[in-house]
Amino acid sequence: MSYVGKILVVVQVVLSLLFMAFAGAVFSMHQNWLGKYEAEKESTARLQSNLGEVQQQLELARSEFDAKFREEKARADRLQATNLTQGATIQRLNGEVEKKEAQRAEQTGLAEAKSLEAAFRKAEAEKQRIENDKLVVKLDDESAKVRDLQDQVFTRDVTLEELRKRYNDMLAKMAYLERVVAAHNLETDPDIVEKMKLPPPPVEGLVISISKNRANRVEFVELSIGSDDGLIVNHELDVIRYNTEESSSDWLGRVLIVDVQPDRAVARVVLPAKNGIIAKGDTATSKLGQPVVGKLSSSK
């Protein structure tokens, strides 16, 4: 294998490694976003489960409260009926006071006993009312907890939706950039991209062949210098013709490197001279008047 072939193999291996690193970075980013999505999904499921448990406890508390409320209402109805009965008895006793003066002490004791019972039942009703108030306060607290949990679930849902939207936007942008790079055949090697920002090195070579378009104008030229001389795609060179007899030179135009090999390069004419046509044997140089490091030769 020649030296040039070895260089090409090394370049291919380096480009393969760079592509693998780029693919690994994309896959890692995808996994990170997927992990965040799964974590938020599990958190939401736990909050919904807690909400269900709280709702069950709330329904149970409501059922117990309703049962106690019906029981106390029935007891209050019984007390009210008893009070009505006692009122009727008192009225009847008042009507018979004069007739049953002898039985007054006995009836008075009976009335006092009834009053004590009514007071006792009233105290029991007051205690039950206090218990009912406590249940109402507890029910309000549980309702507030349920509302807080619902707010947390809503906030998590909004956050999850925003993360999902950002993830989808990044995937769309990544796919778009990949399509743009593939469509324009752009360079992805950072070192080469950085070199493209710099002017070409001081080189000089010969035009070894030309290609004309349908209008019979020179469109492409092949040069005797290439990447071994420091040229890369998008470098621009001036084409001149030396007049050995007159010790002068004529500027024939400017060309843009579109393809480069170790010892050859293909350039497209981007600025032709008004007077003069580029021909085989003319000289391509990176800077007029700059010291030359390349060799004027038709082949390397």
Quick one: fold of 200-285? Elongation Factor Tu (Ef-tu); domain 3 (2.40.30)
Whole-angstrom distance, CA of residue 177 vs CA of residue 172? 9
Rounded to 5°, the CA angle 143-146-148 comes to 110
32-75 pLDDT per residue, tens: 888 888 888 888 888 888 888 888 888 888 888 888 888 888 88
Whole-angstrom distance, CA of residue 146 vs CA of residue 154? 12
* Buried/exposed 110-144: b ≥16 CB within 10 Å, e otherwise: eeeebeeeeeebeeeeeebeeeeeebeeeeeebee
Residues contacting 152, CB < 8 A, separation 6+: 47
Domain made up of 3-184: CATH architecture: Orthogonal Bundle (1.10)
pLDDT of residue 292: 38
Token output for 147: 């509302």
Domain ranges for the chain: 3-184, 200-285
Q: Measured on CA atoms in the order 287, 293, 296, 300, is the torsion positive or negative?
A: negative
Whole-angstrom distance, CA of residue 225 vs CA of residue 231? 8
Predicted structure pTM score: 0.37
The more confidently predicted of residues 98 and 118 is 118
Please report which helix (H) or strand (E) contains residue 218, including its range.
Answer: strand 218-223
Average pLDDT over residues 261-268: 95
pLDDT at 300 over 80: no
pLDDT at 146 over 80: yes
Average pLDDT along the chain: 83
Token output for 262: 């170790």
DSSP 201: P
pLDDT of residue 298: 36
Is the distance from CB of 193 to CB of 187 less than 8 angstroms? yes
Token output for 153: 């679930």
DSSP 291: P
pLDDT of residue 172: 87
β pairing state of 265-272 and 218-223 = antiparallel
State phi, psi for 78 to the nearest 5 degrees.
Answer: -65, -40
HSE at residue 171, side-chain half, CA atoms within 13 A, is: 13
- Alpha helices in the chain, H assignment, sequence order: 3-95, 104-184, 190-196
pLDDT at 110 over 80: yes
The more confidently predicted of residues 150 and 35 is 150
pLDDT at 282 over 90: yes
Token output for 255: 């060309």
Is the distance from CB of 203 to CB of 267 less than 8 angstroms? no
252: exposed, middle or buried (C-beta count within 10 Å: 0-12, 13-18, 19+)?
buried
